[in-house]
Amino acid sequence: MHAATLIARKREGQALSTEEIGWLVDGFVRGDVADYQMSAFAMAVFFKGMSAVETAALTMAMMRSGDVFEHPPGPVLVDKHSTGGIGDKVSLILAPLVACAGCRIPMVSGRGLGITGGTLDKLESIPGFRVGIGMDEAAEILADLGVVMMGQTERFCPADKKLYALRDVTGTVPSIALITASIMSKKMAESLDRLVLDVKYGSGAFMKTRELAQELADGMIAVGKEMGVEVSALLNPMNEPTGRAVGNALEVIEAIECLDGKGPEDLRNVVLDLSERIAGISRTELSAMLDDGTARRKFDAMVARQGGSPGDLLHLAEIHKAPVIREVKAPLSGRVLAVDAGLIGQASLELGAGRTKAEDAVDFAVGFDRLVKCGGQVSQGDVIARIHARSDQAANRAEVAFRRAVSFGID
Ligand code: URA
């Protein structure tokens, strides 16, 4: 086979065979197919797309580029993947909850990049929590607790890591086929029986419209089917942040509230909507496990097993106390019409909660909490958010951004 010929064929809109796609990916990982050739291939896919069969072949080849979980016989293996949003701390609640339902959930998550946060950064705000564990230790924790939450190891889908780095700098990230293969290769390497996708759309999401989110969901469901995994998807709007907190430790605190049967209603609902799809038990039973402390105990056990101390979970607000905590007050009385997730995500990133480059460090303490929710009624002077910042200047900038993000209507 010849890389230039395969690239040219894709450029002309022709379908490639499973063998040809496998050859290209293997060669790329070995270094026989050059970065510039793979970049050209990604651009050809961006313009011409791929069929479900081709996308499944690309997914499979990327999945097989590294280690794949091999689980012993046992309870059903499930997971959830979200395409990313603002204030999205759902994984922290859903993973222990679903494990309480008797499932095994080997959750491999990512870090935040750009305006969307990442589960690994949130977990690392728990002192001592180790996300960088190997496959063997992960397998042991999974066998004992039914849940493990970890990052991608060096040997986990290396083809995706290498290809994503090229896509990032060649304008080829927003291709449905490439996004599908990137996400699904990592999820399929977990060797699951069942997967639920939380596909977000709106101002704070990767996909700006419901139609695009549907197209991505359909692509991922089709690949799951080709690979023999039961995949379902929920489309969820991301026009306002999920819950009332945005920022790493602030989101963990809110997740713990939800695990204690409290917390914002919209957050609890998304957790239950998604958990219901994979857990194999009813919503009522799942709700009871949040309310009676079962899910919280599982979370504490996972924290302890992965190097953290459950006692610290009670003091995260003091452990990560930002030097400036500013209350923002409503300028008038009325109904909240919008709390723009994209603008809040950007403001949170600028406070230091996120990163613009993969190697940047994140600030666990900063962000927003006590955010008002759309549809809520406020009176002039009510607190509509708190800003957690490193300095007064940073808080000033965040306040300007936050006031732009929120709009009111007078009844
Ligand atoms: N998330 C991924 O893991 N890959 C993509 O291509 C886009 C989002």
Residue-level pLDDT, tens digit, the chain, 411 residues: 899 999 999 999 999 999 999 999 999 999 999 999 999 999 999 999 999 999 999 999 999 999 999 999 999 999 999 998 899 999 999 999 999 999 999 999 988 877 888 999 999 999 999 999 999 999 999 999 999 999 988 888 999 989 988 998 888 988 999 999 999 999 999 999 999 999 999 988 888 999 999 999 999 999 999 889 999 999 999 999 999 999 999 999 999 999 999 999 999 999 999 999 999 999 999 999 999 999 999 999 999 999 999 999 999 999 999 999 999 999 999 999 999 999 999 999 999 999 877 778 899 999 999 999 999 999 999 999 999 999 999 999 999 999 999 999 987
Helix axes 176-188, 210-226, angle to 10 degrees: 50
Average pLDDT over the chain, rounded to whole?
A: 95
Measured from the CB, is residue 120 less than 6 Å from ligand 1?
Answer: no
59 lines ligand 1 (CB under 6 A): no
Residue type, 398: A
Q: Is 182 a catalytic residue?
A: yes
Distance 394 CA to ligand 1 centre (A): 30
Q: Ligand 1 centroid vs 83 CA: distance in angstroms?
A: 7
Cα(409) to ligand 1 centroid in Å equals 37
Classify 182 as helix, strand or coil. helix
Instruction: Tell the residue nearest (CA) to atom 6 of ligand 1.
Output: 179
Q: Is 186 a catalytic residue?
A: yes
- The per-residue pLDDT for range 68-124, each reduced to its tens digit, is 999 999 999 999 999 988 999 999 999 999 999 999 999 999 888 778 889 999 999
CA distances 402 to 206, 277, 326, 373, 391, Å, are: 21, 35, 12, 13, 16
Domain ranges of the chain: 3-63, 78-313, 322-409
Interval 297-309: pLDDT, tens: 999 999 999 999 9
Amino acid at 351: L
- Alpha-helical segments (H) within 309-391: 316-319, 341-351
Candidate from 46, 162, 179, 197 with most ligand 1 atoms within 8 A of CB, to mutate: 179
Other residues' Cβ atoms within 10 Å of the Cβ of residue 411: 7
182 CA to centre of ligand 1 in angstroms: 5
Of the residues 167, 194, 296, 386, only one is catalytic, namely 167
Counting from 1 in the atom list of ligand 1, the atom nearest the Cα of 186 is 3
Ligand 1 centroid to residue 109 C-alpha, Å: 11
Question: Of 91, 175, 182, 203, which is the active-site residue?
Answer: 182
User: Separation of 302 CA from ligand 1 center, angstroms?
Assistant: 26
Q: Name the CATH superfamily for 3-63.
A: Transferase, Pyrimidine Nucleoside Phosphorylase; Chain C (1.20.970.10)
282 in helix, strand or coil?
coil
- Tell me which residue has its CA closest to atom 1 in ligand 1: 183
Residues 6 or more apart whose CB falls under 8 angstroms from that of 251 comprise: 87, 89, 92, 117, 122, 243, 245, 367
Q: Is 42 in the pocket of ligand 1 (CB under 6 A)?
A: no
Distance CA 28, CA 290 (A): 46
81 catalytic, yes or no? yes
Give catalytic status of residue 71 as yes or no: no
The DSSP secondary structure of 283-343, one letter per residue, reads HHHHHHHHHTSHHHHHHHHHHHHTT--GGGGGGHHHHT--SEEEEEE-SS-EEEEEE-HHH
The whole-angstrom separation of Cα 28 and Cα 162 is 9
Total residue length of the chain: 411
Catalytic one of 10, 80, 81, 355: 81
Alpha carbons 12 and 6: distance in angstroms, whole number: 10
Instruction: Kindly tell me the sign of the dihedral angle through the C-alpha atoms of 23, 219, 209, 81.
Output: negative
Ligand 1 atom closest to Cα of residue 167:
6
The verdict on whether 2 is a catalytic residue reads no
Q: Please tell me the number of Cα atoms within 13 Å of 1 on its side-chain side.
A: 19
The residue whose C-alpha atom lies closest to atom 5 belonging to ligand 1 is: 179
* Ligand 1 contact via 197 beta carbon (within 6 Å): no
Dist CA 296 CA 100 (whole Å): 10
Q: Is the CB of 183 under 6 A from ligand 1?
A: yes
Three-state secondary structure call for residue 357 = coil
Multiple choice CATH, 322-409, 1.10.3720.10, 3.40.50.300, 3.90.1170.30, 3.40.30.10: 3.90.1170.30
**pTM score, two decimals?**
0.93
Residue 182 in contact with ligand 1 by CB distance below 6 A? yes
* Nearest atom in ligand 1 to 173's CA: 6
Distance 23 CA to ligand 1 centre (A): 22
**CATH 3.40.1030.10 describes domain 78-313:** yes
- Ligand 1: residue of 116, 164, 212, 238 to mutate (most ligand atoms within 8 A of CB) is 164
Question: Under DSSP, is residue 287 helix (H, G, I), strand (E, B) or coil?
Answer: helix
Which of 79, 160, 340, 363 is catalytic? The answer is 160
